[in-house]
């Protein structure tokens, strides 16, 4: 009891000193409520594949790598998971806050494929995702609360539909295509960042505007669906001119599905930029919808110039040349004596 009595005055002094500190000093001594707010830059790629000729795939497939291009991801899916006839159909990047839903659409075959993506519980290095996909107004994919680490790539297997394309060699060796039933696969990669570092916000990708290009104020609960390019035109250049790089263009899609007020947001050189503008002006669109009604909306398009992939005929010729070389080598080996 004597020991406790001796330290009582010291305890009282410490309490009084604590009460005399300003409130701001006390607040700074601990962590901030809620911590730093984070959002996510989501990149998602839409693939088709032939499930009938492929092994069974998990509904949620966690890939062991993150890929810089769809071609690298396709190579991994073919080699590691033995998927057949994998083709990329749509790619998008968008920056979202936690609990913010992004609505996207793309015309695949005769019908639209519509996506809803909602990140949940976004924190440093972690998030959950809700993902829904419909095609021809039929559900293809419905995933809720799937957990992600930062930069983790997860592939979601969806249902089947007549949105697929089958490529074949037509008359004259031309590469042609026909609609086919295929299975949906959507890969998603999050980059979790502070809110100030979000890129490609939904309103930057597309937003409703009036006929003069001024933003339309929307209310909570309004449903906006961006325009969808249904007919793209490839820029034309002189034969033999090698063009590399990309041009970022911006414009306004009208309720009639035409694009106006096209401008260069990021160019390469005046000649290439002008050819890209000419091509974009020939695009046809399904217009944006605001609460089900067609409206003017902004549009951004990045046109990338790179050497095109070899045609199927070119690949067949290369394979035949390789086989002929192997036959010649085999003949030479047989001619040589064994000792």
Mean pLDDT of 232-260: 81
pLDDT at 240 over 90: no
* Interatomic CA distance for residues 309 and 194, integer angstroms: 38
Please give the pLDDT value at position 336: 62
Q: For residue 218, give Cα distances in angstroms to 95, 221, 266.
A: 19, 9, 29
pLDDT score of 235? 82
Question: pTM of the prediction?
Answer: 0.67
Which residue has better confidence, 120 or 269? 120
Residue of higher predicted confidence among 45 and 221: 45
At 95, is the pLDDT very low, low, confident or very high (cuts 50, 70, 90)? very high
Copy the structure tokens of residue 13: 């002094």
Task: Count Cα atoms within 13 angstroms, Cβ side, for 287.
Answer: 20
- Local structure of residue 195 (DSSP, 8 states): G
The listed range with the strongest mean pLDDT (8-17, 190-199, 287-296) is 190-199
Q: What is the average pLDDT value for the chain, to the nearest integer?
A: 82
What confidence category does residue 315 fall into, taking pLDDT thresholds of 50, 70 and 90? low
User: Beta partners for 228?
Assistant: 286
Summarize the confidence of residues 12-26 as an average pLDDT: 39
Could you give the angle at the alpha carbon of 224 between the alpha carbons of 219 and 225, nearest 5°? 175
Q: What are the backbone dihedrals phi and psi of residue 301, each rounded to the nearest 5 degrees, phi first?
A: -135, 130
Distance, in Å, from the CA atom of 266 to the CA atom of 83, rounded to the nearest integer, reads 37
8 A C-beta contact, residue 207 and residue 253: no
Residues 113-172: tens digit of each pLDDT: 999 999 999 999 999 999 999 999 899 999 999 999 999 999 999 999 999 988 777 777
Cβ neighbours, 10 Å, residue 305? 19
Residue 74 has what pLDDT? 94
pLDDT band of residue 20 (cuts 50, 70, 90) is very low
Which segments within 276-327 are labelled E, that is strand?
Answer: 284-286, 288-290, 293-305
Cβ atoms 189, 42 nearer than 8 A: yes
- Which residue intervals of the chain bear CATH 3.30.2420.10? 208-333
Q: Which CATH code for domain 208-333?
A: 3.30.2420.10
CB proximity list for 332: less than 8 A, separation 6 or greater: none
Give the per-residue pLDDT at 328. 80
What is the pLDDT confidence band of residue 233, given thresholds at 50, 70 and 90?
confident
Assign 11 a pLDDT band (cuts: 50, 70, 90).
Answer: very low
pLDDT bin (cut points 50, 70, 90) of residue 4 is very low
> Is 188 within 8 Å of 119 (Cβ atoms)?
no
DSSP state at residue 197: G
């Amino acid at each position: 009891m004597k020991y406790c009595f001796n330290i009582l005055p010291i305890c009282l002094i410490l309490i009084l000193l604590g009460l005399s500190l300003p409130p701001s000093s006390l607040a700074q001594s601990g962590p901030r409520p809620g911590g730093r707010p984070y959002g996510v830059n989501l990149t998602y790629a839409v693939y088709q594949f032939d499930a009938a000729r492929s092994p069974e795939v998990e509904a949620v497939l966690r890939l062991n790598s993150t890929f810089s291009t769809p071609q690298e991801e396709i190579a991994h899916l073919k080699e590691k998971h033995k998927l057949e006839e994998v083709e990329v159909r749509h790619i998008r990047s968008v920056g979202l806050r936690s609990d913010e839903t992004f609505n996207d659409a793309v015309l695949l075959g005769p019908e639209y494929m519509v996506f809803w993506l909602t990140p949940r519980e976004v924190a440093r290095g972690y998030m959950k995702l809700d993902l829904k996909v419909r095609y021809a107004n039929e559900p293809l994919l419905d995933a809720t609360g799937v957990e992600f680490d930062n930069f983790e790539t997860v592939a979601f297997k969806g249902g089947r539909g007549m949105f697929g394309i089958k490529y074949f060699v037509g008359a004259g060796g031309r590469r042609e295509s026909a609609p086919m039933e295929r299975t949906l696969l959507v890969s998603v990669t999050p980059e979790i960042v502070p809110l100030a570092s979000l890129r490609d916000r939904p309103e930057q990708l597309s937003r409703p505007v009036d006929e003069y290009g001024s933003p339309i104020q929307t209310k909570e609960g309004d449903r906006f669906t961006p325009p969808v390019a249904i007919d793209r035109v490839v820029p034309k250049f002189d034969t033999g001119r090698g063009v590399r790089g990309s041009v970022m263009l911006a414009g306004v899609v009208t309720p009639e599905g035409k694009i106006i007020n096209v401008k260069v947001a990021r160019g390469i050189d005046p000649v290439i930029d002008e050819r890209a503008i000419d091509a974009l002006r020939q695009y046809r669109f399904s217009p944006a919808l605001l609460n089900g009604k067609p409206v003017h909306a902004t549009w951004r398009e990045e046109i990338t110039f790179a050497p095109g992939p070899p045609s199927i005929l070119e690949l067949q010729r290369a394979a035949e040349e390789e086989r002929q070389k192997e036959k010649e080598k085999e003949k030479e080996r047989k001619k040589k004596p064994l000792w």
